[in-house]
Structure formats: C-alpha cells, structure tokens
Structure 1
Amino acid sequence: MLNFIRVVWAVLMAFYYYVFIKDYRIVKAAGQIEEISIAKVGITGAVTNFFDTLGIGSFAPTVAFNKFLKMGVRDKELPGLLNVGDTLPVMLEAVIFTTVIAVEPITLVTMLAASAIGSWLGAGIMSKMDETKVQRVMGFALFVTGILMSLSAMGYMPGGGDAIGLTGGKLIIGIVGNFILGALMTAGIGLYAPCMALVYFLGLSPAVAFPIMMGSCATLMPVCSVKFIKEGAYPRKAALLLGLFGAIGVFIATYIVKSLPLDILRWLVIVVIFYTSVSMLISANKDKKSDMDTSIEGAKNEDGEN
C-alpha cells in the first residue's frame, strides 16, 4: 500500500514538473524571467525547509526572509512562490519520512486521503468562514493542547503513546480529524501543528505525525501549485531555486530528526504547537484591528459625505 501512495505521488510530481518546466521555458524564451539573487533565495530555501522538516513550517519564515533579505518577490506573488517553490521539498519530506518512520499502512492511507478530500471539498465552505475566528479558535485550542502535552511530558498526567497505527473508533476520529485539517488548509490554517496534536491525543508516537502531516501536504501541493503556474501568479526563477536549495535543507534536517531521542522529539512537537498557537492568535488580533480601522475609516467617510 505504501508503494501505491508513492506511485500516486510520482504521478502528481510528473504532472507538476511537466506544467512547471513548460511554463518556465516559454517565459525564458520570451526573455521575461525575473532577475533575482541566487544566494538570497538559496539561503531562504535551505533554512526555511530545514525548519519545515522539523515540523515548524516554511511558509511564514519564507515571507519573513523575503522582507529581511530583500529578495525582491512582490507580495502578490508570495502565495505562488510558497506553493510552487516548496512542492519539491515537501514531497521529499513525505517520501523520506514514510521510509524512515514506520506507520501502519491503513492509518497512513486513510488519513492522507481524508486530508486531500477535505481540502478539495472544504474549499468552498472554508472560503466563506471568518478566517480570524478560525485562527482564534485554533490558536486557543493548540495553546491548551501544548499545556496538556507539557504536563504529560513532565509526568503529571497520562498522554501520548508509542503506537504506529489506529483501529476502530480512534481510526475514525483520525480520519475525520485529518479531513477537517485538510479543509482548514484552504482557510490558511497550517496542517502541521494541529496534526501533531491529533496524533498525540490518539495515542500515536510523536514521530508518526511527521509522515502523516508531510504526506498530507505532499498529496495536496502539486495540484495546488499547477493552478498558480497556469495563472502565471508566481516568480519562476525564485520558485525553481527555492525548491532546489530547499531539498538540501530537507536532507540535512532529516538526519537530525531521525536521530533525535523520543523525549527530545516530544518536546520539539510541544514547542512547534506553542509557536503555531501564538502565531495564530497574533495574526487573528492583527486582522481584527485591521477590520476595526477599516470600519472606523468607513464611518468617517460616511460622516464626511453627510
């Protein structure tokens, strides 16, 4: 069954690269490939995907690096850069972690399929939801999860486990949970930290979160990226470099994660969950403030007209 998953991934990547290379060659022939610093994009790709492999995620750090290093990627092209550029590193993460970390096949296949279906079906639903409210709820839930996991890691309460698969009711919960997380990705909510929390509370080993969460994203991102490519809404050269150097970061981090003792890995998961929780809450508050400012400005304009 694992081989079947890899065949699916191979087909998705073949389609992704066919579309990407075709578009790149057409734009290059027209002399419209953007000028960009190989060093800056290379550093960004290697560093952000190193941390992505540790479960921290690469999207937010890439945006920060773009501003800090002045890479020159325009804000409107950032979504395309993140998805198209990080597709190769994420796929490598998925292949590597499903190889070095054992997961019961039924658990892996059903949870990956659930996330993909959730993303596909959830796009229309989640796009209509208030993103700020979703971020606030998820941020609070993850913060509570981080506290409970910390107490468990310190021996104050039971939690976690060393299982590599789910059965019965827990499997159903895992499938439904990953379906929801796949849908939440369409609302801009990352899958990594919530997936870590999900597998932890279902009694799985913290290490099992890595092949599940990365496999989920590897199933989604090639298809998502093709949309950006066909619309030309991405920087070609930057995306190519981000993926190639990102692959280097993945291989370096994979060795570290593979060799980490389970206790250290457990605390790494906790740190990631707290980090994501705080980031979501901060983002939700910024969005709320922005909405309030917009409303105030609109009211002033109306008063002025009256």
Structure 2
Amino acid sequence: MRIILISAIILINLIFILVLLRDLFKHRDEIMKESANNFWTPLAQIAIYFLSTFGISDFAISTALYPKMKWVSLKKLPGTLNTQCVIPVFVMSLAYITNISVGIKTLLVCIICQVIGAYIGPHFVVKLSEKVIRNFVIVGLLIATALILAGKFGLIPSNGTATELYGWKLALTGLLMFVFGALNNIGIGSYALTMATVYAMGMNPVAAFPIMMGGCTFSVSVGSMQFIKLDDYSRKITLFSVFGIIGVLLAVFVVKSLNTGVIQWIVVVVLLYSAISLYQDNRQTRNSAVNK
C-alpha cells in the first residue's frame, strides 16, 4: 500500500506539473512582467521551504511577506499560496512518508478527506472580494499564531504514542482534514491545524509530518490545478517555487534537526504584525468608502 501511495503521489504531482507548464508556456510573455522580485523571490522560496520542512507554516510566512513586498495582489494570494507549495511539498511528502511510520489506513483517510475539501474550495474562493479574502487571511494569521503559542506554553498535548487511529477519532480526524483542505484555498494553512489535531488525538508527534505532507501533496495539487484553470495565481512566484526544493533538501539531508524555538517567536511577531497591518488596511479602506 505504501508503494501504491508513493506512486499516486508521483502521478498527481506530475499531472500538476504538466498543467502548470502548459499554462506557463501559454502566458510566457507575461510571467516576467509580474511584480515579484527576480532576485529575492527565489531566495525567499529557499528560506520558506527550509522552515516549512520543520513544520513552520509556509502559508503563514508567505502571507506575511508577499503583500508587504507587493509581489502579488490579495485577490491572487490564496491561489499563489497553494500553487507555489506543490512542488516543494511533493519532495517533502516523499521524504517523510518513506522515513516515518504511520498507519496506512489513517494516512489514506486523512489524504482523501483533505483532497475532497481542496477540490471544492477554489470555485468559491475566486468569487470572494479582496476585502473578504483579507479578513480570512487575518483569521488565518491569528489561528497560526494561537497554535504556535499554544504549543510553546504546553496547552496542546504532544506526548502521544499512537501511529494509527480507529473509530470516532479516525472519523473526526477525517472530517477535520476535509475542513483543513478547504481552508487551504482561502489562505489558511493546514500545517499547524493538522499538528494540533494529531496531538489532540494522542498520536506520536512525528506522525504529524507524513499526514501533513501526504495530505497537502494531494490536496494542494488538486486545488492548485483549479486555481490555474481559473487564472487566479501568480505565475512568477509559482515558477520560482522550484527553488524551494533546495530548502527542503537542505533541511532533510543536511541540517536534519533544527531548534525552532527562537524562530517560532520571530514568526509569532511577524504574523501578529501582518495581521494588525491588514486590519489597518481594512479600516482605511472602510473609512475611505465612508468619506466618499
């Protein structure tokens, strides 16, 4: 079953790559005209996915960075967060699923449920206004911050030993993974949420990684193909996401372990600052509308 799962991961990601390449070729004259910086964007991808491999949300970091750097509009931010992470997460998923043991039934339920949520989401996201997306992004930043702090202060249990789930725990986890897959599409990353769920269900903390990466490699591939078809993503950032592979390989094969304590505090500050900035943008937009 594990061999079948790995084969399926490779297949779905190859399909995504073909869809992406076809779209990039079709719009080849437009890609380099996009606002993302040609030098800093690849470097950012390396850093983002290096940290992501250790469980620090690439969605959260990218959400804090891209609007401030004006690399992508808020309207296209959710689609970009999804499309940019497909290839790096593909590499992560293969590394974790082949190296960390987790029950295959639990893994399959989590993956299938998250894929269903991810498939449904994009068709609703493209209809949302920039203001609504901004509000969802603020909520996502606050959720990520809260979960990081909960882990830092021991409010989330992280001493479970199980590698398989049964009964109501498996059913509830499947339902939550469906919700997380849908939330991915509005820019709310699923890493921290998945970690919290895995810990709460009494599973071994390391089991969170194959579940996170396995679920995401399918769900973001499926969801991202929808965003590509709907023309609702940054092509340049997604193209430069191949540099994220360097960050993943450095984390998995060179660094292997990282004391993320200080980094997490820095991320908390950045996330809170970004959420406050977006809230202030909302107020300014609202005040401008009233004054008119």
TM-score tier by shorter-chain length is: 0.7 to 0.9
In 2, Cα distance between equivalents of 1:16 and 1:132? 25
RMSD: 3.8
The answer on 1:113 being equivalent to 2:116 is no
**Matched AA of 2:240:** L
Which has the higher Rg, Structure 1 or Structure 2? 1
In 2, Cα distance between equivalents of 1:63 and 1:206? 26
Superposition pairs of residues 18-57 of structure 1, within 5 angstroms: 18-28=18-28, 31-34=29-32, 39-57=39-57
Superposition pairs of residues 134-153 of structure 1, within 5 angstroms: 134-135=139-140, 138=143, 142=147, 145-146=150-151, 149=154
**Matched AA of 1:117:** I
Q: Deviations over 1:156-192 (max 9, x none)?
A: xxx5312211112222222122222222223321100
Contact 1:142 1:277 in 2 (8 A): no
In 2, Cα distance between equivalents of 1:289 and 1:112? 37
Deviation at 1:199, TM superposition (A): 0.6
Q: Deviations over 1:73-128 (max 9, x none)?
A: 44366555543333111111111101111110011000111112223345677868
Contact 1:138 1:277 in 2 (8 A): no
* Number of aligned positions between the proteins: 283
User: Of 271, 288, 291, which aligns to 1:297?
Assistant: 288
Provide structure 2 residue ranges, at least 5 long, that are not aligned to the other structure: none
Deviation at 1:139, TM superposition (A): 5.5
Provide structure 1 residue ranges, at least 5 long, that are not aligned to the other structure: 153-158, 302-306
In 2, Cα distance between equivalents of 1:286 and 1:40? 22
Contact 2:59 2:188 in 1 (8 A): no
Matched residues, percent identical? 30
Deviation at 1:42, TM superposition (A): 3.2
SS of the residue 1:34 aligns to: helix
**Matched AA of 1:295:** R
**Matched AA of 1:10:** I
In 2, Cα distance between equivalents of 1:15 and 1:151? 37
In 2, Cα distance between equivalents of 1:151 and 1:195? 12
In 2, Cα distance between equivalents of 1:297 and 1:67? 20
Deviation at 1:144, TM superposition (A): 6.9
Contact 2:161 2:203 in 1 (8 A): yes
**Matched AA of 1:43:** L
In 1, Cα distance between equivalents of 2:100 and 2:205? 11
